[in-house]
A = this chain, B = another copy of it.
Amino acid sequence: MSEDTRFGLGRTVTLPGPLRLDGGGSLAPVEIAYETYGTLAPDASNAILVCHALTGDQHVASEHPRTGKPGWWTRMVGPGKPIDTDRFCVICTNVLGSCMGSSGPASRNPATGTPYAMAFPVITIRDMVRAQAMLLDHLGIERLFAIVGGSMGGMQALSWTATYPDRVAAAVVIASTARHSAQNIAFHEVGRQAIMADPDWRDGNYYAADTTPSAGLAVARMAAHITYLSEAGLTEKFGRKLQGREAKTFGFDADFQVESYLRYQGLSFTDRFDANSYLYITRAMDYFDLAEEHGGMLANAFRSSRARFCVVSFDTDWLYPTAESRAVVRALNAAAAPASFVELSSPFGHDAFLLENAELARLVDGFLRAGDGK
């Protein structure tokens, strides 16, 4: 077991493994990149695990080393914030399969000495969760005060309560779902096909090449980005406004602001994300079906859980609409798990969980304080 601080990637720990995987194989060694904020209590009772979304990272409340941007949830995590680092020790790990320091397709395959590429095993949300549990074991944290996540982070939170029912005291599940729908899978498949159609993908073996499948990855990101925003939000933000010009060009440049915005989102993404990781993580999300893992009945996933739940959806989120959260809450009720549910109003669609939202902040703050006795 070794631990080091890599420049710009925060802390990384290499655990010997093996990590047993849902796909049948195992992974060893297991690298886990993570950040911590705040101080762990001597009895390790104040740990909160924050789980990131598809393209997120461990830098939840500190600067991203590659982009120089602030942490992705500084609104929620920090001193005096709802997830208060003056009281809690907040841990955020880069998920298995990703590209910010944790084991993924870009990692060195010990069998060959070169990057795994597509020889990396296909993983699941539960595999990500098992890797996180290995890290908590390493850090001496037996039980989480809380686990909090939005989008894919919420899937991890749900999977945690089902996989380690004794290790989670509270779970906050925001803008998430207990299973990927046909439409969710469809959008991810478009993204994967865009990447795989890029000749620079080279069946995944581009790490030593001069070029990466950035064009395909940009298209994948553009398609996904539409699903993160609401139709009304796009209309309010962009409508049919033209980009820095007075009239249409009658050409194929980005005439409309929304085109320019999407192209920027696509291009800037390729600077910070690995195309193969995008394939693996979208696959893990598509495979996610918590009910299926528990005999086809979602309530069964929660029968052993000792956690309190706070489930939050946004009214304009069409990626994981409120109906998905309601299905989770119905299952929690059926399993007699303590659960509160709120649908918040926001014009911003799925992205709302990452944006300023006073109600969300109050809600999470209150829910955590209820477990804190404060």
Residues of A within 8 A of B (CB): 22-24, 118, 121-122, 179-183, 185-187, 189-190, 192-194, 196-199, 215-216, 218-219, 222-223, 226, 229, 231, 234-235, 237-240, 248, 250-252, 254, 256, 258-259, 262-263, 266, 279, 283, 286-287, 289, 292, 318, 321
Contacts and interface: CB of A to CB of B under 8 A. Distances in A.
Contact of A231 (B183, B194, B240, B248): B183
B193 A216 contact: no
B283 A235 contact: no
Nearest to A225: B186
16 contacts: A118-B252, A181-B231, A182-B239, A185-B240, A185-B259, A189-B262, A189-B263, A192-B252, A193-B222, A193-B262, A193-B266, A194-B219, A197-B215, A197-B219, A240-B289, A256-B286
Q: Which of A197, A229, A238, A239 has the most CB of B within 10 A?
A: A197
Contact of A186 (B251, B258, B321): B258
A194 B252 CA distance: 13
A286 B243 CA distance: 14
Given A189-B259, A252-B192, A259-B189, A197 B182 contact: no
Contacts of A237: 182
Contacts of A318: 231, 318
Given A183-B229, A186-B259, A189-B259, 14 more contacts: A118-B252, A122-B251, A180-B240, A182-B234, A183-B226, A186-B262, A187-B226, A189-B254, A190-B262, A192-B252, A193-B222, A193-B263, A193-B266, A231-B318
Contacts of A223: 190, 223
Q: Closest 5 interchain pairs by CB?
A: A23-B250, A197-B215, A182-B234, A122-B250, A182-B238
A216 B193 CA distance: 9
A287 B235 CA distance: 15
Q: Which of A193, A198, A199 has the most CB of B within 10 A?
A: A193
Given A182-B240, A218-B197, A252 B226 contact: no
Contact of A182 (B216, B235, B250): B235
Contacts of A185: 240, 256, 258-259
A186 B234 contact: yes
A182 B261 CA distance: 11
A235 B193 contact: no
A260 B342 CA distance: 36
A318 B193 CA distance: 24
A27 to B, nearest CB: 13
A268 to B, nearest CB: 14
Nearest to A222: B190
A225 B110 CA distance: 42
Contacts of A235: 181-183
Nearest to A118: B252
A218 B193 contact: yes
Contacts of A192: 252
Nearest to A248: B287
A215 to B, nearest CB: 4
Contacts of A180: 240
Contact of A219 (B183, B190, B263): B190
Nearest to A279: B252
Contacts of A258: 182, 185-186, 189
A250 B193 contact: no
Given A181-B235, A215-B197, A234-B181, A226 B279 contact: no
